[in-house]
Chain A
Amino acid sequence: MTKFEIRGLRADVLIGAEQREEILKGVDLTIDSGETHAIMGPNGSGKSTLAYAVAGHPRYEVTDGEILIDGENVLEMSVDERARAGLFLAMQYPVEVPGVSMSNFLRSSVTAVRGEAPKLRTFSKELQSTMKGLAIDSSFASRGVNEGFSGGEKKRHEILQLELLKPKIAILDETDSGLDVDALKVVSEGINRAKTETDVGVMLITHYSRILNYVKADYVHVFAGGRVAESGGPELANALESEGYERFVKAGA
């Protein structure tokens, strides 16, 4: 049982040497194991900033507030320590790392997170079956990390990592965007497998309620103007779908 807490979080995006802008203006959110929280909000409201701030992205700086995982101060951890503490971020735009093969990368990452190198044979079996579950062709293992992958292929590989790394808390930043219906199903099944197998707590950032037809959210939060503007149950998603964010954008302005 894990408790993940974000309290009064403020963060700036670092734009240039001298330039920064405050994006997060006091975010409060608590996620427990097994819960799925959907975060919905207009473009530019700071959803990705929140995700990156939690992961420790170098272009963002937390200026106030705290992030705790089971009471441990996440902000004091380096990026890799956060991952080893059980945090995972599926990125909206996964990064291409040329020349580093996917299989090498995955093995290094699984070794780091699990604290010991998995047996080569067991790991390659596990990798193959997880890839198969996400309809990823085995040839991807020898390609460079995200190198030349299509948008949808990148998203599948983010979920592949989710399944292999078995985090306690996963932030999925628009994993559904850019996926066709079939791919959306495949990816959603991956998320659901992770949920049932590991009881992961999920922060699901999305624009559209369609993924919520596949991945059930326990809570829905509206994110606007750099903070959580309103929280509710799954019914809130439907209201947002029909009414849009207008009311929140105005309130936030």
Chain B
Amino acid sequence: MASPNIGVKEHSHGGDVPISRLDTHGSFDVDAFPVPSGREEEWRFTPLRRMRGLHDGRDAVGGAVKVETRAPEEVAVETVARDDARLGTSFLPSDRVSALAYSAFTEATVVTVPKEVQVSEPVYVKITGVEEGDAYGHVLVRAESHSSTTLVLEYGGSSTYSDNVEFVVEDGAQLTVISLQDWDRDAVQVSHQYAKVGRDARFKSFMITLGGDLVRISPSVRYVGRGGDAELHGLYFTGEGQHHEHRSLIDHNVSNTRSRVEYKGALSGEDAHAVWIGDVIIGEGTQGTDSYEHNRNLVLTDGTRVDSVPNLEIFTGEVEGAGHASASGRLDDIHLFYLQSRGIPTDEARRLVIRGYFAELIGRIELPDLRERIMDEVEEKLALHE
């Protein structure tokens, strides 16, 4: 496992502005980013050969996805052309893949939750691969001020897919997103999710990655007002030969903001590879930041690989709390012993303990159907290696 990087920079007074090692500049210009070679810090864990050209833009476009939506009537869902003025205003692509996806999509889905509306039913956006070849998409979700919504963003089928998802959480709004990567086994996805969190706004993300051959998702959070709160929960079950990579970036560029990142994974089978990179920046001149990030990995068989790297960069002395933890390990044989000593057979004991490991995280998802479905899929994957 890689070791954590923690930088506490000197507070500077005039002169040089401290520069983060974490590259947070961005551009819509694809050529502003060189084609990754795989040696770069941001790419060194990703098997580029399996990205099918999503990073260099060489492969022919020609694939297609189908986008289905369902929403209660108080929510506006539109399909718009790429020149819609609302698109691309909340973020700058942070790498070449993101810029490429933004240059290549043809239609975008825009979800708008009007001001002060408390949406009772979840909004569903389902993206399904329907034709071979690469496909690009774009989603913008705007939770207007003091609204409250839950959105389920689901990916399925087979595709080579890249998109940018913008979450704009305006002042006082609450947005909960469950992003479910439930691809067929051969799919490739590289996505960026950019959240912009307003004053006293709450953004909650559940990133559930189960499917695909290679899934690399970079969720980022940036605050535009005090009192913003972001919780990023992640769950992945990485099976034989799968590559699941999650790279979160929380930029505490405003005072009095809070973030929690908690990603939990399990790995099972030969060449299962999980990567978690947790970048947190606590910006210069900010005060009262409260941040904590945590990654845990449960290693169920031999032959798996985990790379777990928290990066915490602090540019101010006025931090309320900042911490991180990362741990990978096997199932605890003493837990299993206890259950077995009560007559429970090994397989069932393992299932109970693994269920227990994920239960708390899944339990926070407020949609019972989805909870059941996720747990069932986890158990299905579990059964493959028993």
Query: Which residue in A58, A80, A91 is a CB contact (below 8 Å) of B343?
Result: A80
B386 on interface, CB distance cutoff 8 Å: no
Q: Which of B338, B352, B358 has the most CB of A within 10 A?
A: B338
B-side contacts of A209, CB under 8 Å: none
- For the complex, what is the distance from the CA of A58 to the CA of B341, rounded to whole Å? 11
Shortest Cβ distance from B296 into chain A, in angstroms? 11
Whether, in the assembled complex, A144 has its beta carbon less than 8 Å from a beta carbon of chain B, the answer is yes
Which chain A residues numbered 148 to 206 have a C-beta less than 8 Å away from chain B? 161, 165
Asked if B356 contacts A112 (CB within 8 A), the reply is no
A89 to B358 alpha-carbon distance, docked (Å)? 28
Of the candidate stretches A96-104, A130-138, A231-239, the one touching chain B is A96-104
Chain B neighbourhood of A97, CB < 8 A: 335, 338-339, 352-353, 356
Bound complex: CA of A57 vs CA of B335, how far in Å?
A: 11
Q: Kindly identify which residue among B335, B339, B342 contacts A165, using a CB–CB cutoff of 8 Å.
A: B342
A91 vs B334: C-alpha distance when bound (angstroms): 12
B348 contacts chain A at the CB level, 8 A cutoff: yes
**Cβ contacts A68-86/B at 8 Å (1 or 0 each):** 0000000000111011100
Interface membership of A94, Cβ < 8 A: yes
Which residue of B333, B345, B359 is within 8 Å of A58 (Cβ)?
B333
| Number of interchain pairs (Cβ within 8 Å) | 80
Q: Are B344 and A80 in contact (CB under 8 A)?
A: yes
In the assembled complex, the Cα of A71 lies from the Cα of B339 at a distance in Å of 25
Interface of B is mostly: helix
A98 contacts across to B, CB distance below 8 A: 356-357, 360
User: Are B352 and A112 touching (Cβ within 8 A)?
Assistant: no
The interface residues of chain B lying within 8 Å CB-to-CB of A108 are 339, 344, 348, 352
Q: Give the complex CA separation of A105 and B338 in angstroms.
A: 10
B365 at the interface (CB under 8 A from A): no
Known: A94-B338, A100-B353, A105-B352. A80 touches B345 (CB 8 A): yes
Q: Judge if B305 is at the interface, Cβ distance under 8 Å.
A: no
B329 CB, nearest partner CB in chain A, Å: 13
- In the complex, are the beta carbons of B348 and A79 less than 8 A apart? no
Q: How large is the interface on A (under 10, 10 to 19, 20 to 34, 35 or more residues)?
A: 20 to 34
Within 8 A of A (CB), among B332-372: 333-335, 337-346, 348-349, 352-353, 355-360
Inter-subunit contact B341/A83 (CB<8 Å):
yes
Residues of A within 8 A of B346 (CB): 78, 80
Please tell me which one of the listed residues B335, B340, B352 contacts residue A79 in the complex, with CB atoms under 8 A apart.
Answer: B340
**Which residue on chain B has the smallest CB distance to residue A83?**
B343
Partner of B345, one of A82, A105, A112, A161: A112
| Residue in chain B with minimal CB distance to A167 | B343
Using a CB-CB cutoff of 8 Å, which residues 216-240 of chain A contact chain B? Answer: none
Task: Report the nearest A residue to B352, measured CB to CB.
Answer: A100
Chain B contacts for A23, CB-based, 8 A: none
Q: Which of B335, B338, B342, B357 contacts A112 (CB 8 A)?
A: B342
A40 sits at the interface (CB 8 A): no
Q: List CB contacts (< 8 Å) of B304-346 with chain A.
A: 333-335, 337-346
**Does A24 interact with chain B (Cβ within 8 Å)?**
no
- Tell me the smallest distance from the CB of B127 to a CB of chain A, in Å: 31
Any B CB within 8 A of the CB of A48: no
24 contacts across the A-B interface (CB closer than 8 A): A58-B334, A79-B341, A80-B341, A80-B343, A80-B345, A80-B349, A83-B343, A94-B338, A95-B334, A95-B335, A99-B353, A99-B356, A99-B357, A100-B356, A104-B352, A105-B344, A105-B352, A108-B344, A109-B342, A109-B343, A112-B344, A112-B345, A144-B356, A161-B342
A contact residues vs B (CB 8 Å cutoff): 55-58, 78-80, 82-84, 89, 91, 94-95, 97-100, 104-105, 108-109, 112-113, 144-145, 161, 165
Q: Which 4 residue pairs of A and B lie closest in terms of their CB atoms, listed nearest first?
A: A99-B356, A83-B343, A109-B342, A95-B338
